[in-house]
Structure 1
Amino acid sequence: MESITWPELAARALRRQFPSEVDGIAGLADRIGPLQTQTARAAFLGLTARSTFADHASITAAYEDLTLVRGSSIRGTVHTSVRAVHPILDVLTRVGIGTRWRSQLGLRDSDPVALWESLDTFAAEGWRTPDELRAHQAAWLAARDPASDGDERIGRYLPFSHGSLIRRPLKGGWEGQGAPGYRTASALLGDRSEWYADLAAAVRAGVLLHVRCHGPSSVEDIAWWAGVGRKVIARAVDELADALVGRVGPDGRGYVEPLDSPDQAPADPAEAVPGVRLLPEFDALLCAYEPSARMRFVDPEHHRIMFSSANGLCRPPLLVDGRITGYWRLDGSGRTRALTAYSFAGTRRPPIAEVRRAATAVTRALPVRLSGVEWARHRD
């Protein structure tokens, strides 16, 4: 089996994540795959950083007409995807979190699937608030499993963190953190019982989705991203062997991508995505891969800086010549903000003109004006 280096892995993945030819918001979102969006602005920043046509109005319209849908899919974490992909994410979430729900709710006499079905029925007719879903879950547990003794602190988040619900802001814009409402996905997007009936097929579809959007991918990458056990993913990869091509990575793992992948991808990440891009927190270049394999995009010591161990938050990455070499932030409040890009020591300091060009994507993504764009070195 051929080998592949970290720079080659990065360049091939970057070519998938920053496609040169796409057809509108739906085409772009389909090509790059689900965006992790527990920070609501992330979808806006992620799409505008990858295109010249995406902007706040077009992304908002895509949410409103259900071209894009947001829900607690993939590891029970909020993601945005195109509507056609959502059933796959729903089933991956069910496969991955059933055991965790049983433990966290302390279920004794009931099954998580029955609770999910009850929540789906409750949220089928209209948008439900988190408090309404919590009350429904509490009443269901009291009636069906009164001996359950789960962690109340965790349990209060579970009613809306399974894949079959989608969410929208009940007030404020889609880019904000306004109060959310939840609705049963099948009520708006169509029946998905066929997916529920064949979980193995859905897992294979999830594997193909990952390698198409993020490949080359290892079993460990896909398992981490999907929140599904490694053995389940490895079985699916084996079943898809005729559709995949494999190489040995620099860490000794096998990496696969679709059999019809083009061979013209550059070997140098700087050629794949030259210049500066301002990416959102929890961007796929970090969160679509198992942590130890993210070094294709970021040095391990810099990866530790990107994530806060105190609150689990991620700094928005600064991508320079295809590599994460820092982060950026908006300072101030209201519509007028100041943007500062921070570079890690020992990395290329991008000219301020490059940062300013990249910052225009931020003003297309969000309803803000920039009072200034500055550069700084990260200080510990």
Structure 2
Amino acid sequence: MALGWDDLAAASLARQFPEDPGTVAARVDAIGDMQTQTARSAFIGLGARFPGTTHAEISEAYAAGAIVRGSTIRGTVHTASPRAYTVLAEATRVGQHPRWARMLGITEEQLATLWSSIEDFAREWRTPDELRAHVDDWLGRHAPGSLAAAAAGPGRYLGFAHGALVRRPASGERWEGQGRPVYATFERTGPATLADVVSLHLAAHGPSSRQDVAWWSGMPLTAVEEGLAGLDVVEDEGPDGRAYLDLADAPPPRDLPGVRLLPEFDALLCGYDSRVRDRFVTPEHHRRLWNESNGMLLPPLLVDGRITGFWRAAGTARRRPVEVTWFARTRRPRRSELDAPVAALEAALDVTVSEVSLTREQV
């Protein structure tokens, strides 16, 4: 069977906007993973998918360890359940560890020993400076020629960007903020395999091409193929000529009428190969939303299951305006349709929206 972009979108919406399973922890587990280098994205994303989710509920889930946040796949920050985070850590080991070894000029065996030493050191909460000092000390004793690489560019994040640690605000409060973090070793829930990595992706984002899974996970296509070998999947041709894979027990597709205010780096974009995100957004709109020079994404506006604009909540005050922009030649959201998503945003971020503006942009 040949699938169109609308077919792929409807199938993915069934995973990303499921029936409410009840608790914040169960909601996060149901949607798989959330890219949250912008910390507020977890709050906004849960509010958009499960309206009425409160700031206090999400903060309490973080504080209790029912959901966790840290640097994992592709070196980005993700929020997930402990079960899913364990799988993300395995994807990070496969996808990122060879990259770190090449960057430092050491063997993968040496790198694995360094990671183990970091995990031992971070059995209690550590600051980024403490982790950097630990890495420098280890390299000074075992690979002094790598110290310069560890001090520049991505090397500065070596101590906490390898999928084995989780982070929390140093203050212990305001989980939605970008304040100073501290890091500690993540206690995995058990072993994870490449099949688990591919299964997590398909359950949360499928149907997907092999390239989608590879981009999302940061793993090479050879690892994706190895993971697929252990799964019961169905395969159909997609609108771009690629093969699209899905789990045999995938939920039925769904429509999503109405308006949602999605977070930066939402899964409807970041779950897929950055070159082929047509199921939810046109290429020209994607270019407007994604700044390739710095990797930043504007928070998307979702209308009837399509991304057709963006929005902003300017400032950091407890009272702030919301500016909604829709792209010309797409459906204009009605002002009345913004009432529910704005209320969901207020509850999730614990803010008051002072006013809502609605403008059109030619793209």
Note the C-alpha offset of 1:167. 0.6
C-alpha distance 300-109 of structure 1, shift in aligned 2 (>3 A): closer
In the other structure, the counterpart of 2:131 is 133
In the other structure, the counterpart of 2:93 is 94
Say which of 136, 141, 144 aligns to 1:143: 141
Note the C-alpha offset of 1:91. 1.1
Q: Kindly indicate whether the alpha-carbon contact (under 8 Å) linking 1:218 and 1:255 is maintained by their aligned counterparts in 2.
A: yes
Unaligned residue ranges in structure 1 (runs of 5+): 196-201, 267-271
- Residues of 1 paired with 2:24 and 2:212: CA distance? 26
Note the C-alpha offset of 1:238. 3.2
C-alpha distance 42-105 of structure 1, shift in aligned 2 (>3 A): same
Q: Deviations over 1:108-143 (max 9, x none)?
A: 79621111101001001x110000000110111000
Matches within 5 A, 1:288-299: 288-299=271-282
- Residues of 1 paired with 2:286 and 2:21: CA distance? 30
In the other structure, the counterpart of 1:253 is 242
One-letter amino acid matched to 2:236: R
C-alpha distance 108-321 of structure 1, shift in aligned 2 (>3 A): closer
Note the C-alpha offset of 1:228. 0.1
Q: Kindly indicate whether the alpha-carbon contact (under 8 Å) linking 2:237 and 2:243 is maintained by their aligned counterparts in 1.
A: yes
In the other structure, the counterpart of 1:173 is 174
Q: Deviations over 1:34-72 (max 9, x none)?
A: 100000000000011001341101111110111100011
Q: Kindly indicate whether the alpha-carbon contact (under 8 Å) linking 2:52 and 2:347 is maintained by their aligned counterparts in 1.
A: no
Say which of 328, 339, 354 aligns to 1:345: 328
Matches within 5 A, 1:305-324: 305-324=288-307
Superposed CA RMSD in Å reads 1.6
Classify the secondary structure of the residue corresponding to 1:358. helix
In the other structure, the counterpart of 1:214 is 205
In the other structure, the counterpart of 1:199 is none
- Residues of 1 paired with 2:49 and 2:84: CA distance? 20
Note the C-alpha offset of 1:83. 1.0
One-letter amino acid matched to 1:265: P
- Residues of 2 paired with 1:88 and 1:15: CA distance? 22
In the other structure, the counterpart of 1:327 is 310
Q: Kindly indicate whether the alpha-carbon contact (under 8 Å) linking 1:102 and 1:112 is maintained by their aligned counterparts in 2.
A: yes
**1:155 aligns to 2:170 (yes or no):** no
- Residues of 2 paired with 1:101 and 1:118: CA distance? 15
Classify the secondary structure of the residue corresponding to 1:111. helix
Q: Deviations over 1:283-320 (max 9, x none)?
A: 00000100232100000000011111332211000000
Q: Kindly indicate whether the alpha-carbon contact (under 8 Å) linking 2:73 and 2:96 is maintained by their aligned counterparts in 1.
A: no
Q: Deviations over 1:84-119 (max 9, x none)?
A: 121111111010011210122233796211111010
One-letter amino acid matched to 1:17: Q
- Residues of 1 paired with 2:19 and 2:257: CA distance? 13
Q: Kindly indicate whether the alpha-carbon contact (under 8 Å) linking 1:5 and 1:249 is maintained by their aligned counterparts in 2.
A: yes
**1:244 aligns to 2:223 (yes or no):** no
One-letter amino acid matched to 2:253: A
Unaligned residue ranges in structure 2 (runs of 5+): none
- Residues of 1 paired with 2:54 and 2:218: CA distance? 31
Classify the secondary structure of the residue corresponding to 1:173. coil
- Residues of 2 paired with 1:166 and 1:331: CA distance? 29
**What's the TM-score, normalizing by structure 2?**
0.95
Q: Kindly indicate whether the alpha-carbon contact (under 8 Å) linking 1:103 and 1:150 is maintained by their aligned counterparts in 2.
A: no
Note the C-alpha offset of 1:217. 1.1
One-letter amino acid matched to 1:359: V
Note the C-alpha offset of 1:178. 1.0
One-letter amino acid matched to 1:153: G
Q: Deviations over 1:124-175 (max 9, x none)?
A: 1x11000000011011100010122426232111211011101100124100
**What's the TM-score, normalizing by structure 1?**
0.91
**1:229 aligns to 2:220 (yes or no):** yes
Q: Kindly indicate whether the alpha-carbon contact (under 8 Å) linking 2:34 and 2:80 is maintained by their aligned counterparts in 1.
A: yes
Number of residues paired by the alignment? Answer: 360
C-alpha distance 261-140 of structure 1, shift in aligned 2 (>3 A): same
Classify the secondary structure of the residue corresponding to 1:154. helix
One-letter amino acid matched to 2:359: A
- Residues of 2 paired with 1:333 and 1:183: CA distance? 28
- Residues of 2 paired with 1:369 and 1:93: CA distance? 38
Aligned residues: percent identity? Answer: 46
- Residues of 1 paired with 2:70 and 2:22: CA distance? 24
Classify the secondary structure of the residue corresponding to 2:275. helix
- Residues of 2 paired with 1:160 and 1:128: CA distance? 10
In the other structure, the counterpart of 1:185 is 186
C-alpha distance 332-164 of structure 1, shift in aligned 2 (>3 A): closer
